């Protein structure tokens, strides 16, 4: 069994495609069960955020696993595997572990060092546990990822990069209308992102109004930030008075239409409105961006600015002034020291090595157990045969013969079983367990399914593109 990570993220896919992957809890539950019911996936965890949809799975074959996961992702996006292939990333074993650890630490986020993804990973793991789609293989991987993410944020200064997309979006907002202190801000959505947005706005001195489909949730959040709640029915009137509209609901359709915003703008006498849409799929009708006096800040804009900064830095042979290369090659705010990022990477590398050793030791354990079980069966059979051939032996003699035979077998097996456990921790070490299985007839892995390999190739495409192949695998 091997760990596989397959998915799309802001690094490879445009926001328009990420919108197609938007998953609520029911969608995620359906995907989890589809995955573990497929031919090659035994355990699965789905991390779905506004920046990524990635599947971390325990699979029995690389190509078959990629094919199974890709089918589920394609179904969720309403696309074919071939259409999806240019945007998919595939990581395998150590690369998959290191990637998950980087995600948990905020090193792979649109805003390097953000902390929200750690909570999202925790929720994804809890859901997978509740649905019983994680087991002995993925439990330690997910738990280690959560510990690594927390440790990186605790032991380095990487948090200074910014708490989340909310901070970056509000910085962009202030560049449009100035300081938010004293400004009226309307937050639509009272979930985790809404709570983060509301608390961030309150810290910046804004007057916060919370609106949500659930009145009780809006009231609780409003009270916690010293704001007030409003019903969705009052949205047009509240919008007319607001300087900023920030939406982050979990709705699957549009929440704020162009007509609503146009009506709110009609009586503002030129006062601008900034619309911050951090939902995926988007909450606000794209047509709002064309209205006079309305400035839209959404995920597509933030992604475009990030890529623009990258291109500008590449043309100059350096990153924009005040920035340096981030974990994924993207710009990193100057407030994050290079040694903080280096320290984070060192932690991830060390933790990946530790987990590799643990997983490899666990991988050879069944071989060692099977070998000793086989030896015990042989000993028992031979002692039984001896008993029938020498019926005159008394109980003491039989016991002594049995102890002697078992000591001989234990001594013969001691060195190979100890060595195979030691060698499991070195690169390619599990090959020794395979040799042991072959030599003692304990079972040999089957060949790769050609059809699954062909489909996996359609996903991975050209070797080296968005792909970490297992050592020794063929394209």
Give me the active site residues, please: 50
Q: Are 284 and 56 in contact (CB under 8 A)?
A: no
Q: Which residue has the tokens 């064309």?
A: 290
| Number of other CB atoms surrounding residue 147 within 10 Å | 13
- Output the DSSP codes for 70-108: HHHHHHHHTS-HHHHGGG-EEEETHHHHHHHHHHHHTTT
Query: What does the block give as tokens for 308?
Result: 């623009």
Closest CA to 232 of 266, 249, 166: 249
Beta-strand relationship, 207-211 and 52-59: unpaired
Which residues lie closer than 8 Å to 6 by C-beta, 6 or more apart? Answer: 54, 55, 57, 65, 66, 69, 70, 73, 88, 89, 90, 91, 459
CA dihedral 423, 428, 430, 433 (to 10 degrees): -80
Query: What does the block give as tokens for 229?
Result: 């709640």
- Asked whether the CA dihedral 30, 36, 40, 44 is positive or negative, the reply is positive
Which residues lie closer than 8 Å to 358 by C-beta, 6 or more apart? Answer: 140
CA 105/CA 115 separation, integer angstroms: 7
Q: Are 144 and 351 in contact (CB under 8 A)?
A: yes
Backbone torsions φ then ψ of 249, nearest 5 degrees: -90, 175
Closest CA to 201 of 246, 266, 138: 246
Q: Are 175 and 199 in contact (CB under 8 A)?
A: no
CA 186/CA 180 separation, integer angstroms: 12
Q: How many CA atoms lie within 13 A of 348 on its CB side?
A: 27
Residue 255 carries which DSSP code?
A: S
Query: What does the block give as tokens for 37?
Result: 């019911």
């Amino acid at each position: 069994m091997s760990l596989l990570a397959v998915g799309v993220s802001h690094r490879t896919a445009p926001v328009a495609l990420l919108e197609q992957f938007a998953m609520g809890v029911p969608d995620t539950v359906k995907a989890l069960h589809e995955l573990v019911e497929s031919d090659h996936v035994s355990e699965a965890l789905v991390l779905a955020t506004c920046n990524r949809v990635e599947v971390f799975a325990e699979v029995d074959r690389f190509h078959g696993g990629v094919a199974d996961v890709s089918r589920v992702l394609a179904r969720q996006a309403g696309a074919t595997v071939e259409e999806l292939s240019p945007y998919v990333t595939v990581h395998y074993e150590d690369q998959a572990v290191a990637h998950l650890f980087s995600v948990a630490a905020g090193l792979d986020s649109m805003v390097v060092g953000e902390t929200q993804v750690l909570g999202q990973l925790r929720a994804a793991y809890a859901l997978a546990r509740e649905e019983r789609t994680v087991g002995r293989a993925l439990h330690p991987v997910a738990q280690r990822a959560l510990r690594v993410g927390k440790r990186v944020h605790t032991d380095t200064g990487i948090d200074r990069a910014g708490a989340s997309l909310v901070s970056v979006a509000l910085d962009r907002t202030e560049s449009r209308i100035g300081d938010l202190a004293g400004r009226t801000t309307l937050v639509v959505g009272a979930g985790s992102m809404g709570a983060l947005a509301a608390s961030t706005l309150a810290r910046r001195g804004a007057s916060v109004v919370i609106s949500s489909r659930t009145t009780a949730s809006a009231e609780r959040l409003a009270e916690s930030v010293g704001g007030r709640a409003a019903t969705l029915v009052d949205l047009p009137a509240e919008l007319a008075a607001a300087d900023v509209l920030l939406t982050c609901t979990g709705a699957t359709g549009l929440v704020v239409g162009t007509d609503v915003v146009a009506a709110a703008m009609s009586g503002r006498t030129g006062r601008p409105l900034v619309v911050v849409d951090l939902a995926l799929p988007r909450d606000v009708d794209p047509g709002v961006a064309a209205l006079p006096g309305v400035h839209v800040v959404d995920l597509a804009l933030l992604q475009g600015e990030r890529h623009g900064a990258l291109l500008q830095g590449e043309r100059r042979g350096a990153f924009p002034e005040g920035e340096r290369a981030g974990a994924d090659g993207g710009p990193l705010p100057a407030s994050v020291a290079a040694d903080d990022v280096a320290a984070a990477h060192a932690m991830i590398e060390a933790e990946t090595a530790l987990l590799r050793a643990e997983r490899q030791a666990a991988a050879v354990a069944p071989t060692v157990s099977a070998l000793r079980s086989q030896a015990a069966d042989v000993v028992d059979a031979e002692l039984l045969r001896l008993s029938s051939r020498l019926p005159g032996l008394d109980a003491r003699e039989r016991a002594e013969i049995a102890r002697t035979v078992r000591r001989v077998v234990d001594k013969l097996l001691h060195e190979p079983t100890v060595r195979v456990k030691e060698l499991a921790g070195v690169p390619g070490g599990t090959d020794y367990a395979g040799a042991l299985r072959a030599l003692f007839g304990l079972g040999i892995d089957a060949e790769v399914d050609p059809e699954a390999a062909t489909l996996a190739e359609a996903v991975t495409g050209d070797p080296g593109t968005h792909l970490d192949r297992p050592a020794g695998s063929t394209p």
